[in-house]
Structure 1
Amino acid sequence: MASLSSSTTIPPLASSPFPSTTAADSTASTSSSSSSFKPPSSILIIGSGVFGLGTALALTRRDAFTNCSITIVDRSDPSQPGAFPAPDAASVDTSRIVRADYADPAYAALCDEAQIQWRKQDKPTDLGAQGRYTETGLIVVGDATAPVAPASGPAVVSEEPTQKVKLTGLDYARKSWANVQSLASGNPALAERIQELPNPQAIREALGTGGTSGAWGYINRNSGWANAGTSMAWLLEQVKNTGRVSFLAGTVESLEHDEATVTGAKLAGGRVLTADLVMVAAGAWTGSLVDLEGQALATGQVLGYMDITEEEQQKLGGMPVILNLSTGLFIIPPTNRVLKIARHAYGYLNPQTLPTAPLPVLPQLTSNKTVSVPKTSVTDPDLSIPAEGAADLRAALQEMIPLPELRDRPFTKTRLCWYSDTRTADFLIDYHPHWRNLFVATGDSGHAFKFLPVIGDKIADCIMRNCPPQFKGKWDWKGGDMTALFTEDGSRGGKPGLSLVDELGKLTI
């Protein structure tokens, strides 16, 4: 077996864009087991997305990990121009919403913390500089729909002891409205940038495109969007600058283990990597390595891109983001004459029989080889999105930006973006309960990117068995019967349980 080689230890840079956190600082969060934590001598991180890169950066800045070698392995090669991030990864392309607009106050506060970093733009090396972050505002709306039963499993909210209902999009919008008002209450300058939009006409006036959506909503001009691709390149550069992290290009086929301990990972081609601690942060691909049944599920989400003219860019470039939490449909302001329309939905499932079963939940068990895994244009260059999803995107465009010249304009390209979905849209950031030396960081649920400046530190806290108090229980490995999994946080549109293969068998656009 080949071991991970140690790397030279270099102190954190004095000019670090994020605050440095020492082991002593970390213990302030409280955890009964954190005092017994012993840092490993080597860590292998599988995946170089927001979770993987962010964690690596955070660990290099903690005294406890000064003598720990850190290696990231990913199928994309960061040393090759244009090869990183992988073109079918979640954290790529033109834009991602950055919002503190959450129904859950813990996530609202976490993004409020992240936005302090996103707003730094004075120097070219600041995260938000060079067009990486734009604050045009966000309109959050919901439709006036009656409460409905959850698709499956426990409900998010219970109105009556005998009747459980899920949070509707309008419920989510109203809770989010209350949370962002609370966050801004101590700062009049921020508070005045949040405005209720009590009816469709008010929404239309705030949107400024001639379109509208939803029955009620609000605009938060403290929210905006980030260029995902350039932000990931920025994060990669921060990690490289530490001199502490080694990168390997390779596809992980399986985890290596003995009776009850994960010891490393096996790459395509047969090479084996070993480490004291293995962290799997492979996004929607995590379930192909670790059995996540009942924990997280890979779902495909539709995106459409449309080329526009310079005149249309000038007209629409300053519009706010608009997000309808009842339908999941949203539009982000265009950049470089490309308009993006997307849907945050239950998503498509793509169950496939894998050549190698993922690591079972319990050492003495075997895993089912049939797992929902991403299907992307990397492996299928002719892949398009199903007609059902394309029709929804077209409807959103006509509703939110009803410009006659855009009505029948074809999409320049479409894409499936793959989430790692959990039932409540909480992340899964925890040690595996039944395998030693295995840590899992996944369950992005389609909303993790905005936390890029801060999530690495929170994951590092969890590695040190010091989970932030507000996320205890939320980020834990869950028990119980959770075999039928759909995200029921109130923010999803579409229909639950759609099969990608079945939908692709119908007419596509």
Structure 2
Amino acid sequence: MTSSLPQHSSSSSNNNANPLSSILIVGSGLFGLTTAYSLSRRHEFANTSITVIDRSDHSSPSIFPSPDAASIDTSRIVRADYADHAYAALCDEAQLKWRQQEKPTDLGAQGRYSETGLVVVGDATCLAPVAAPSVEGDVSESAHKKLSGMDYARKSWENVSSLASHNPVLAERIQELPNTDTIREVLGTGGSSGTWGYINNNSGWTDAGASMAWLFEQVKQTGRVNFVAGTVVSLEHNETTVIGARLGDGRVFTADLVMVAAGAWTGSLVDLEGQAVATGQVLGYLDITEEEQEILGKMPVILNLSSGLFIIPPTNRVLKVARHAYGYINPQTLLIPPLPISPISISNPVVSVPRTSLNDPDLCIPAEGEAELRAALKEMAPLPGLIDRPFTKTRLCWYSDTRTADFLIDYHPHWENLFVATGDSGHAFKFLPVIGDKITDCILRDCPPEFKEKWTWKEGEGAKALFTEDGSRGGKPGLILDEELNKAAQVLPAV
């Protein structure tokens, strides 16, 4: 069965004077849903039909996005604390909207945003990593030192201090923490982390799941967006042009412009030429007592940029501990290959694809990752009985990682009518209030100048080792999920 959306000429995506009659968005995570919201409110798309397709949850097909999407979680850090000034400024813009909490319908209201402060630290003993050589063995481009976690922390401090300098109230809320004792004092848990850092009380965290539910409701209220529950298995195309998407149940949806915003699943639909790879990151959740909630609920967010380990203040007696790392890859050869690099290419690349509890209910995190989470508890929140307490739940959260941690938001250079928005690199959620408008600008070929080079499709990125090397990652690069899970199995007693 084919479900056709209103059609227009294939050149419409290249001509703003000839508006698109239909846009199909694959994925309702952060990039997809914010873009749908922005499109629905732009006069340029007043007569454009907008359809969003997502895997959703078969038991609740009206809920978007799918519960194993990276954007669905108890919490995400909201920080302008970036070593890169452009992203720092973009979050500074987003925080103006996160802080709006006067009305229940405001984004930041009803507990969706909490400005608890953020402690950013680094370890002086951790040297900047040397980039891994390419698969081809060519080290000329990548074998040089990258930012260390401490480098990132210091540059971040400079950027947030600069952004706050125009407002004395904001500037007073940023304080250097020159040693472990001052870090321990502001943390208030009895623990510490890092050898130098600072606290930015202008940063905080958001309830990610609640914020996405708020966004979904805003989009529905526009009455402009059609939601379809289903799994896209391939993109439909002719000789030169992507014309739609095929679902696993055989339905085909077509449109003037197809936007793939499937997060870590994007690489299974489009050959990204090595520009982005799906990586699994470890999260752990513990139930805590009222007494522990009283202590830990007052702490700021703590993020060690050398180890990647972080803890977000608990709510409702649930504590989350996590690692922002190189992550695990899950390389697979797909039964249905992704769209090739160009119409004249034939390829079936090995692709890292997410593996979650929805397709593997028995999935656990590797022993290596669990050990690191417990190290974070011991270091950052060493309350009696907490360090060895069994996790109530663990999870692999799947990023779409790029080498530089820049997003990939651009038209495909070789396929007409195909637009890609991915490469969240584990730090996109904080931009929820503003990123949809920026993506819509890119669709209109008006990318913000400060991001034009950062977000563009980068040719020739294939056949290279891909790890995010912006200085903010912990762990080891290149860990294979199955190998790490097998290591865990080997150390467990036979039953």
Q: Same fold (TM over 0.5)?
A: yes
| Structure 1 partner of 2:262 | 282
Give the alignment partner of residue 147 of structure 1, picking from 123, 128, 134: 128
Aligned pairs for 1:245-256 (under 5 A) are 245-256=225-236
Tell me how far 1:39 sits from its aligned partner: 2.7
Aligned-residue offset at 1:38: 3.7
Once the two structures are superposed, residues 275-304 of structure 1 have per-residue CA deviations (whole angstroms, 9 ceiling, x without a partner) of 000000000000000001321000000000
C-alpha distance 335-225 of structure 1, shift in aligned 2 (>3 A): same
Residue 367 (structure 1) aligned to one of 347, 365, 380: 347
Q: 1:3–1:275: 8 Å Cα contact kept in structure 2?
A: no
SS state of the match for residue 150, structure 2?
helix
Do the aligned partners of 1:308 and 1:339 also contact (CA within 8 Å) in 2? Answer: yes
Q: Mark the CA change 1:78 to 1:380 in structure 2 (over 3 Å): closer, same or farther.
A: closer
* Partner in structure 2 of residue 438 of structure 1: 418
Shift of the 141–404 alpha-carbon distance from structure 1 to 2, 3 Å rule, reads: same
User: Which of 432, 447, 463 pairs up with 1:452?
Assistant: 432
Runs of 4+ in structure 1 deviating by more than 4 angstroms, as ranges, are 33-37
Q: Indicate the residue corresponding to 1:101 in structure 2.
A: 81
Gaps of 5+ in 1: 8-32, 155-160
Letter of the structure 1 residue corresponding to residue 64 of structure 2? F
The whole-number CA distance in structure 1 between the counterparts of 2:17 and 2:202 is 39
1:2 aligns with 2:2: yes
Q: Is the 8 A contact 1:306 1:412 kept in 2?
A: yes
**Residue 39 of structure 1 aligns with which residue?**
19
**AA matched with 1:499:** I
* Map of 1:210 onto structure 2: 190
- 2: CA distance between counterparts of 1:185 and 1:74? 43
Q: Pick from 481, 485, 495: which aligns with 1:500?
A: 481
Determine whether 1:486 maps to 2:457.
no
The letter of the residue matching 2:315 is T
Which residue number in structure 2 is paired with residue 180 of structure 1?
160
State the AA in 1 paired with 2:486.
G
Cα displacement (A) at 1:82: 8.2
CA displacement, residues 67-122 of structure 1 (integer Å, 9 cap, x when unaligned): 10000001116993884332211011210000000000000000001001100110
- 1:148 is aligned with what amino acid? P
1:377 is aligned, of 333, 357, 378, to 357
Work out the CA distance in 2 between the residues paired with 1:34 and 1:194.
Answer: 45
User: Deviations along 1:365-412, whole A, 9 cap, x unmatched?
Assistant: 112242100011001111000000000000010000011221211111
* Cα-to-partner distance string for 1:207-235 (whole Å, 9 max, x where unaligned): 01010000110000000000001000000
Query: Comparing 406-415 with 456-465, which one deviates more in the overlay?
Result: 406-415
User: Which piece of structure 1 moves more, 499-508 or 282-291?
Assistant: 499-508
* Gap change, CA 1:78 and 1:501, over 3 Å in 2: closer
Of residues 87-96 and 280-289 in structure 1, the stretch that sits farther from structure 2 once superposed is 87-96
| Conserved 8 A contact 1:432-1:477 | yes
**1:458-484 per-position Cα deviation (integer Å, ceiling 9, x unaligned):** 000000000000101100001234421
- Write the distance in 1 (CA, Å) between the matches of 2:129 and 2:25: 40
Report the 3-state secondary structure (helix = DSSP H, G, I; strand = E; otherwise coil) of the residue aligned with 2:487.
coil
What residue number does 1:64 align with? 44
CA distance in 2 between partners of 1:57 and 1:261 (Å): 26
Normalised TM-score (structure 1)? 0.91
| Cα deviation, residue 507, structure 1 | 1.8
Question: 1:317-396 residue pairs with structure 2 within 5 A?
Answer: 317-396=297-376
Structure 1 residue 5, shift from structure 2 partner: 4.1
In 1, the alpha carbon distance for the partners of 2:58 and 2:358 equals 17
Contact 1:78 1:85 in 2 (8 A): no
Structure 1 residues 302-321: aligned runs within 5 Å: 302-321=282-301
Q: How many Å separate the matches in 1 of 2:472 and 2:337?
A: 32
Output aligned runs, 1:120-159, within 5 Å.
120-144=100-124, 145-152=126-133
What letter is aligned with 1:461? D
Secondary structure at 1:247 match in 2: strand
Taking the aligned partners of 1:400 and 1:121, their CA distance within structure 2 comes to: 30
Residue type of the alignment partner of 1:489? D
Output the amino acid matched with 2:477. P
Say whether 1:426 aligns with 2:406.
yes
Per-residue CA distance 1:226-282 (angstroms, 9 max, x = gap): 000100000001100111000001100000000110000000111111000000000
Q: Tell me which residue corresponds to 1:295.
A: 275
TM-score, reference length from structure 2: 0.93
User: Counterpart of 2:138?
Assistant: none
Residue pair 1:313, 1:334 contacting (<8 A) in 2 also: yes
Structure 2 counterparts to residues 161-200 of structure 1, below 5 A: 164-200=144-180
Q: Distance in 2 between matches of 1:146 and 1:56?
A: 42
- Matched residue type, 1:127: L
Tell me the distance in 1 between the aligned counterparts of 2:62 and 2:298.
29
Aligned partners of 1:355 and 1:369 also within 8 Å: no
Separation in structure 2 between the aligned mates of residue 195 and residue 501 of structure 1, nearest angstrom: 43
Residue 399 to residue 55, structure 1, CA distance change in 2 (3 Å): same
- The separation in 2 between residues aligned to 1:87 and 1:276, in whole angstroms, is 29
Match of 2:446 in 1: 466
The amino acid that maps onto 2:482 is V
The Cα of 1:305 is off from its aligned counterpart by: 0.4
Secondary structure of the equivalent of 1:270? coil
200, 218, 223: which one aligns with 1:238: 218
Partner SS, residue 169 of structure 2: helix
How many Å apart are 1:153 and its aligned residue? Answer: 5.9
What amino acid is aligned across from residue 84 of structure 2 in structure 1? D
Q: Distance in 2 between matches of 1:326 and 1:370?
A: 30
Matches of 1:162 and 1:78, distance apart in 2: 44
Q: Answer whether contact 1:85 1:229 (CA < 8 A) is retained.
A: no
Would you say how many aligned residue pairs link Structure 1 and Structure 2?
Answer: 478
Q: 1:213 to 1:361 in 2, by over 3 A?
A: same
Are the equivalent residues in 2 in contact too, given 1:43–1:275 (CA < 8 A)? yes
| Cross-structure match for 1:477 | 457
Paired-residue identity, %:
74
Contact 2:55 2:65 survives alignment (8 Å): no
Partner of 1:87: 67
Letter in 2 for 1:252: V
Contact conserved, 2:118 with 2:303, CA < 8 A, in 1?
yes
CA distance in 2, matches of 1:93, 1:443: 19
